[in-house]
């Protein structure tokens, strides 16, 4: 069965510092990969997705993620954190378009002024 691991349930960074949120997945074939963000008391919003095109994917709000097949990773980065980035971030994987989406447990990002 597929699974998604997010290292660190809580990450704190200073405003202006690099954001790195880690995601590893288990899959025998390159899957569809997603990062979602959830602000307090809201639903999830898509940040970016990988669907077997370019391995470096750019998303909204300055975030990007790199698909590394050899490491089965899809880490999310942003060069400079902003206070408004404080939220919960979920990595998700879908094996094929007919499979369920498997969500990781989430990483809560805090940004310190």
Partner 1 sequence: DVKVTQSSRYLVKRTGEKVFLECVQDMDHENMFWYRQDPGLGLRLIYFSYDVKMKEKGDIPEGYSVSREKKERFSLILESASTNQTSMYLCASSGRTYEQYFGPGTRLTVT
Residues 6+ apart with CB under 8 A from 77: 18, 19, 20, 21, 63, 64, 65, 66
Give the footprint of partner 1 on residues 9-38 (CB under 8 A). 32, 34, 36
Does position 101 interact with partner 1 (CB under 8 A)? The reply is yes
Q: How far apart are the first and last CA of the chain?
A: 41
- Closest to partner 1 by CB, 24 vs 81, is 24
Alpha-carbon gap, residue 37 to 1, rounded angstroms: 24
Give the footprint of partner 1 on residues 29-88 (CB under 8 A). 32, 34, 36, 41-46, 49, 51
- Closest to partner 1 by CB, 17 vs 95, is 95
- Closest to partner 1 by CB, 76 vs 106, is 106
Query: At closest approach, how far in Å is the CB of 94 from partner 1?
Result: 6
Question: Could you tell me the CA-to-CA distances from 82 to 14, 27, 54 in Å, in that order?
Answer: 9, 33, 26
Closest CA to 27 of 64, 58, 71, 65: 71
- Closest to partner 1 by CB, 13 vs 106, is 106
For binding to partner 1 (CB under 8 A), which residues are involved? 32, 34, 36, 41-46, 49, 51, 90, 94, 97, 100-101, 103-106
């Amino acid at each position: 069965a597929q699974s998604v691991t997010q290292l660190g349930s809580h990450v704190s960074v200073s405003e202006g510092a690099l954001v790195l949120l880690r995601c590893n997945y288990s899959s025998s074939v390159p899957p569809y990969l997603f990062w979602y963000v959830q602000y307090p008391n809201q639903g999830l919003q898509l940040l970016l997705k990988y669907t077997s095109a370019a391995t470096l994917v750019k998303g909204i709000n300055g975030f990007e993620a790199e698909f590394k097949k050899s490491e089965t990773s899809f880490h999310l980065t942003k060069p400079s954190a902003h206070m408004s980035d404080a939220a919960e971030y979920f990595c998700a994987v879908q094996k094929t378009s007919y499979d369920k989406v498997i969500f990781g447990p989430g990483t809560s990002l805090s940004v310190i002024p």
